[in-house]
């Protein structure tokens, strides 16, 4: 299916690795241009090369989105390079384990800055271009907002905020024909996940235990599967879909897990 994204410029935060890189690669397959925003210039360059090597188009700008002014600079650099923005994927963030019991207000606020505030800020600065292009926004979120996890109050709050902003922006921006949706992730195999798994006592057993709790096929979601849904939501093929929280999680969040295998 042609998603109708040829030559469209899509800003992807956290686009150098994991889910963001998956989105950039799928966009490239559809003929779009991924404008990758990430904090590390070398990682960004490697991501661009990986897209170009398979015949796609990508570009990058290094920016630390938690710093004042960096979101605006990233948007302005993209517009200077391409003259337009046709879509935005808010993806950058990290589950940093700021809990109620062991955390404090300062760390809580800092986590919100890492995981929520730049979603608002980069969308705010990209909005004038999205109005012109009648573009789309996709926020990447986590099931933690709905299920809880334990020991991660700030990340859960940030993801609750992402969900709320998705619905709020869908209402506010409908008059501009801008659609806003979210893709909700549960257990997705990313480099960051692999690093975490390597820190536990028995990585293989822990992975089996996690995957056995995922109803569909007892496996983790891939970055490409998240990216496929994200790109669909960016495309005119989803032309009457807005304000939705779409779970790409093998049924983890909502299906009865009575079929768990031990």
Q: How far apart are CA 135 and CA 180, in angstroms?
A: 9
Catalytic residue, chosen from 119, 120, 155, 193, is: 155
In order, the DSSP letters of 162-185 are: HHHHHHHHHHHHGGGT-EEEEEEE
Q: How far apart are CA 185 and CA 179, in angstroms?
A: 20
Tokens at 249, concatenated: 């999680």
Q: How far apart are CA 92 and CA 17, in angstroms?
A: 10
Q: How far apart are CA 85 and CA 88, in angstroms?
A: 8
Task: Give kind and range of the element (H or E) at residue 18.
Answer: helix 18-29
Query: Can you tell me which residue has the tokens 């501009």?
Result: 176
| Residue 119 designated active-site | no
Residues annotated as catalytic (active site), given as ranges = 155
């Amino acid at each position: 299916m042609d998603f109708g994204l040829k030559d469209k410029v899509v800003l992807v935060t956290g686009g150098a690795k994991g889910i963001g890189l998956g989105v950039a690669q799928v966009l490239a397959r559809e003929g779009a241009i991924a404008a990758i925003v990430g904090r590390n210039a070398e990682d960004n360059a490697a991501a661009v090369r990986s897209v170009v090597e398979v015949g796609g188009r990508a570009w990058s700008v290094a920016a630390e989105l938690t710093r004042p002014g960096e979101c605006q600079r990233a948007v302005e650099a993209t517009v200077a390079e391409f003259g337009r923005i046709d879509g935005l994927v808010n993806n950058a963030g990290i589950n940093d384990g700021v809990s109620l019991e062991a955390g404090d207000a300062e760390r809580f606020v800092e986590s919100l800055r890492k995981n929520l505030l730049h979603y608002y800020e980069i969308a705010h600065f990209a909005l004038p271009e999205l109005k012109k292009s009648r573009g789309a926004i996709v926020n990447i979120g986590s099931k933690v907002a709905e299920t809880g996890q334990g020991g991660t109050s700030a990340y859960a709050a940030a993801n609750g905020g992402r969900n709320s902003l998705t619905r709020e922006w869908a209402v506010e921006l409908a008059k501009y024909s801008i659609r806003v949706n979210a893709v909700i992730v549960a257990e997705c195999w990313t480099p960051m996940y692999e690093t975490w798994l390597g820190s536990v006592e028995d990585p293989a057993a822990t992975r089996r235990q996690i995957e056995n709790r995922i109803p569909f096929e007892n496996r983790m979601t891939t970055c490409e599967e998240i990216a496929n849904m994200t790109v669909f939501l960016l495309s005119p093929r989803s032309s009457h879909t807005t304000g939705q929280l779409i779970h790409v999680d093998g049924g983890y969040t909502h299906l009865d897990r009575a079929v768990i295998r031990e």
